[in-house]
Every structure is written in structure tokens, then in C-alpha cells.
Amino acid sequence: MKLSDKVAAEINSIKSRYQDPRSCLLPSLYVVQKADGWIAPEAMAAVGELLNVPGATVKGVATFYSMFRHKPMGRHLIQLCTNVACLVMGAEELVDILKGKYGLEPNGTSPDGRFSLVIMECIGACGTAPAMLVDTDFHENLNEKNIIDTLENYK
């Protein structure tokens, strides 16, 4: 697979920030994920080619970090925290609600392809728990009602 010209160009521009092209690996994977929603094996190989990093090494790195996705995602990614602060403020109930309302299982995608759900470790919103990220937006002080209102804004 070839990376799209846009993705390749963006990676090449990021490269200049680093003294060593390999440092550009995580940012490059982000560029791919932003474009495709996930990181296909072929994309890993292509990124490796561009940065002169062996494909197996790219795979080792990409699978180490929990925010890289290795299968296609729904249109919107819900990253819901259930760590201690969110837990004691009711995050588990929210997981149930997402299942009931959208048929979403953790690490799953709703049947209509609209949402994917990933359970997060702490997202740094403990004072406003429970909280989630939808794509790159923070939504805090969630409860059984406002979580649905919020998600309904994502089509």
C-alpha cells in the first residue's frame, strides 16, 4: 500500500522537527490514524519504509500504545474513562447505557457504524468525573441523561 500524498507530505513535514527520523514514528502513526481512523498493517509497512524503520519494529511500537487502533473504527470514537475517580462517580452505569442505547460493547462498534467505544484508563478529568472523549472533545460531569444528549450531537 502507498500512503496518500497528503499523509506522506504531512509525515515528511513532521520529520524536520526531529534530529532522528525514528522519533517521528508515533506522530506518523497519528497522521495515518487521523486519515484512516485506524492503522492498517500495510500502512505500518509504508510508514516504516518512509522512516527507514523495519515493518516488524513499527508493528511492535504501534501495538504497544493503547490509543492506536488496529481495526476500522466507527465514525465517532467514544473513549470513556472508568478508572477509580470516574468509577466512584458512576462510570459503570454509563457503559450500560451505551450498550442499551447504541448496542455498544467495549472495544466494539455500534451496528450502524456510528460509534466505537473504548474504555479508557484515566483521561485527566477526575475532578469532573465521569468523563469521556468523543473524537477529540472532552465531555465531563456526565450522567445517565446528558451522555445521550451529548452523543446525539455526533451523527
Partner 1 sequence: MEKYLLRNIENPNSADINEYVKAGGYKALAKAMDMKPADIIEQVKKSGLRGRGGAGFPTGMKWAFAAADPKMPKYLLCNADEGEPGTFKDRPLLEKNPHLLIEGMIISGHALRAKYGYIYLRGEYPQAKDILEAAIKQAYEKKFLGDNILGRGVKFDLCVHQGAGAYICGEETALIESLEGRRGQPRIKPPFPVNEGFLAKPTVVNNVETFSNVPYVLEIGPEEYSKIGSSDCPGPKLFSVSGHVKKPGVYELPMGTTLRDIIYTHCGGVTGDKKLKAVIPGGISTPVLPADKLDCPMDFVNMPKHGSMLGSGAVMVFDETVDLPKVCLRAIKFFEHESCGKCTPCREGIGWMRSILGRICGGTGNAGDIDLLLEVSKNVMGKTFCPLGDGAATVVQNFIKNFRNEFEAHINNKVRAER
Partner 2 sequence: MITVTINGKQIKLEKPVSILEAAKMTGIKIPTLCHHKSLEAYGGCRLCLVEIEKMPRLQASCTQYVTDGMVVWTETGRVVEARKAMLEFLLINHALDCPYCDKAGECDLQDLVMKYGPAAGRFTEGKRKHPESYDDPIIVRNMERCISCTRCVRMCSKVQGASAISMVNRTSKTFVEPFSGGRYNCEYCGNCINVCPVGAIMSRLHKHTYRPWFIEKTVDTVCSFCGVGCSVTAQIRGNSIVRIIPESEKGLNRGLLCNRGRFGYDYISNSGRLKSPMIRKNGSLQETTWSEAFMYIAQKIKEIKEKNGGAAIAGVASGRCTNEDNYVFQKFMRLVVGSNNIDSIAGFAYAPARKFFEKIFGQGVTANPIQGISRSDGIFVIGGDPTAINPVLGLQIRAASQKDIPVATVGYAPGLKGFAANRLIPKPSTEAALLAALLTEMLKRKPLPAEKTPFEEIIGKIQPVSLNEAESACGIASGEISACVDSLSGMTNPALVIGRDIIQRSEGQANLLLLAALAQALNGRIYLSSELPNEQGLIDMGCLPDMLPGGRPVAVDSFRKRYGEFFNAEVPSAQGLSLMEMVEGAHSGNIKALYVMGENIAFNIPDNKFVKDALSRLELLVVQDIFTTETTRFAHVVLPAASWAEREGSYTNLEGRMQHLKKAIDSVAGLEDWKIIAEVSKVLGVDMNYRDSRDILAEIAKVSPLHKGVTYEDMDSGECMWPYKGEPLRHDLNIVGIDMPDMKALLKKPEKDKVYIGVDKVLFHSASLSRNSFALNSIYSEPHAKIGKNLAAKLSVASGDHISISTGAGAIELAAVIDSDMPDNIVLVPNNFEGRGAFRVMGWKMNAAFKAPALDGMEAVLKKLERVSAEVSE
What residues line the site for partner 1 (CB under 8 A)? 17, 19-20, 22-27, 29-30, 51, 53, 60-61, 64-68, 79, 82-85, 87-89, 92-93, 96, 120-129, 133, 136-138
CA 102, 41, 14, 23 dihedral sign is positive
Judged by beta carbon, residue 70 or residue 111, the one nearer partner 1 is 70
84-115 burial, b at 16+ Cβ within 10 Å, e below that, comes to ebbeebebeebbebbeeebebeeebbbeeeeb
**Interaction pattern, residues 41-60, with partner 2; x per rule: CB under 8 A:** x--xx------x-xxxx-xx
Which of the listed partners (partner 1, partner 2, none) does 45 bind, with a CB threshold of 5 to 8 Å by partner kind? partner 2
Taking the least distance from each CB to partner 1, the nearer of 68 and 154 is 68
**DSSP-derived secondary structure letter, 2:** P
Would you state the torsion angle of the CA atoms of residues 135, 136, 141, 145, taken in this order, to the nearest 10 degrees? -30
Looking up cell 484515566 gives: 122
- Please report whether residue 26 would count as binding partner 2 according to CB under 8 A: no
Is residue 45 helix, strand or coil?
helix
Cell numbers of 22, please? 525514528
Answer with the entry of partner 1, partner 2, none that 152 interacts with (C-beta below 5 to 8 A by kind): none
Judged by the rule CB under 8 A, the positions of this chain that interact with partner 2 are 41, 44-45, 52, 54-57, 59-60, 63-64
